[in-house]
Chains A and B, each alone.
Chain A
Amino acid sequence: MSKKSIITIIFMISSLATLAQEELMKELESKDQNETDYAFQTFKGTRLVNGHSIETKGKGTLEFIFAHRFGEVNGGLYELFGLDEAFVRIGLDYGVTDRLSLSIGRNSVDKTADGYAKYKLLRQQKGTSNVPVTMTVLGGIAYRLSPKEAPEGFGNIDRLAYVSQLLIARKFNTKLSLQVAPTLIHKNGAYQSIEENDQLAIGVGGRFKLTRSVALTSEYYHRLNPVDNAPFKNALGFGVDIETGGHVFQLVMTNTRGLTERAFITETTGDFGDGDINFGFNVTRTFQLKKK
């Protein structure tokens, strides 16, 4: 037998063996069909730019959020392009279950204390059952401590504002995720000439991943029932998410300073087109308090 034919025979035997193994593999694959794949990490953060994303924290994880907005860049050199001013929100988000998160925070804009509850109603999944979107319901309350004395005609109860949101997002592929967020804000106190007590808005936003760790984000809240001649604008923001281990850094450009929905959805005064752009960032650090 020539060398060549020996090689051929060895090759044939080995490919027969591979064929048999592939049959075994097919048999195994056919056994395990009923499976469900959930969409993971539709967004990197629990916040998209200014507002919430559908993401909640995993069970037993605590997220510390330090968010920060500078003044407007069109303040010029005198204001060091906004860097002389800073508005901060310090917050904590905690995952009670994989679906329920609670959070508290304090924003220096209007000296506002806030609290939220977020619950994931639906998870995007495919397989045995198909759900095209993830849906999270959010309820929040914010109490402004500023001004110190309630203005004429208002009481302390008027310092309260509430937000209800339905956050709906779909991860289209590993890069692209989009979100819509119908929002209702109720303000106990409102200056009737420029605003309603109940204000509706629709938020839209998304993210596009550039690399495994870097993504571009955007968010826009369109007010549906603004009063004519109101001095307020719709909030628009763009961001870059950078993820490194347990941290997420979100660098943002937006026309608003506030970090509670009352402030940024209903009381944004900056005009993005006129250069009323606030640079800022959200930095998060996640701690696992309880092991799974």
Chain B
Amino acid sequence: MTAGQKFTTEKGEITFFSDAAIEDIKAVNNVIGSLFNVATSEVVFIVKIRDFTFDKSLMREHFNEKYLESEKYPKATFQGKVNGYTHGAAAQQNVKAVGKLSIHGVTRDVDVPGTMQLVNNKLLLKAKFKVKLADYNVKIPTIVWQNIAEEVEVTVDFIYKPL
């Protein structure tokens, strides 16, 4: 494989949003590693659970300690393929990422719709999807269930540059 076929994240941001009865919870992670291979349309990314930041520091502690158990499962990963992307076209393209998403030690096949666009040799990837906590064995104690939604909305916003 020649150089220039692979793209790496220059900037990446993954946020998630939980919209529950008592409080909305939002977390942001700006420390994302991702590679995209233009030739094969393969994409991988790694998110460290500890790098998610919250408005309340206690939420971050509980998120790591109790829900995502980041000492046991420090990373969430995705590996798969982006279907529907043609390299070189200038317009924004609707794509679908198909592959395996691992969170909290559970790996599941997912397909996620998103968009990709090439701007000044930078590749912008955006996606928004829902993750059901139960699918990844993330248990919410009944006493705080009203504070945390059963499904969180994940937003992915990557800017890739040629490697």
Interface residues of A (CB under 8 A from B): 17-18, 20-22, 24-25, 27-29, 31-32, 35, 37-38, 40-41, 58-61, 95, 98, 173-174, 212-213, 243-246, 286, 288, 291-292
By a CB distance below 8 angstroms, the chain B residues around A288 are 55-58
Task: Assess whether B53 is in contact with A292, with CB atoms less than 8 Å apart.
Answer: yes
Q: Which of A29, A35, A37, A174 contacts B72 (CB 8 A)?
A: A174
Task: Assess whether B99 is in contact with A58, with CB atoms less than 8 Å apart.
Answer: no
Q: Tell me the dominant secondary structure on chain A's binding face.
A: mixed
Q: How far is the CB of B24 from chain A (nearest CB, A)?
A: 13
Q: How far is the CB of A288 from chain B (nearest CB, A)?
A: 4
Q: Which of A24, A37, A213 contacts B79 (CB 8 A)?
A: A24
Task: Assess whether B37 is in contact with A24, with CB atoms less than 8 Å apart.
Answer: yes
- A-B residue pairs in contact (CB < 8 Å), sample of 13: A20-B37, A24-B79, A25-B46, A28-B34, A32-B46, A35-B48, A61-B56, A61-B58, A174-B69, A174-B72, A213-B141, A243-B62, A288-B57
B43-57 at interface with A (beta carbon < 8 Å): 43-46, 48, 50, 53-57
Task: Assess whether A37 is in contact with B74, with CB atoms less than 8 Å apart.
Answer: yes
Task: Assess whether B147 is in contact with A245, with CB atoms less than 8 Å apart.
Answer: yes
Q: Which of A32, A35, A291 contacts B55 (CB 8 A)?
A: A291
Task: Assess whether A20 is in contact with B144, with CB atoms less than 8 Å apart.
Answer: no
With the chains together, A288 CA to B58 CA distance in Å? 8
With the chains together, A17 CA to B62 CA distance in Å? 37
B61 at the interface (CB under 8 A from A): yes
Q: How far is the CB of A41 from chain B (nearest CB, A)?
A: 5
By a CB distance below 8 angstroms, the chain B residues around A18 are 79
With the chains together, A53 CA to B80 CA distance in Å? 45
B81 at the interface (CB under 8 A from A): yes
With the chains together, A22 CA to B107 CA distance in Å? 14
Task: Assess whether A28 is in contact with B54, with CB atoms less than 8 Å apart.
Answer: no
Task: Assess whether B57 is in contact with A292, with CB atoms less than 8 Å apart.
Answer: yes
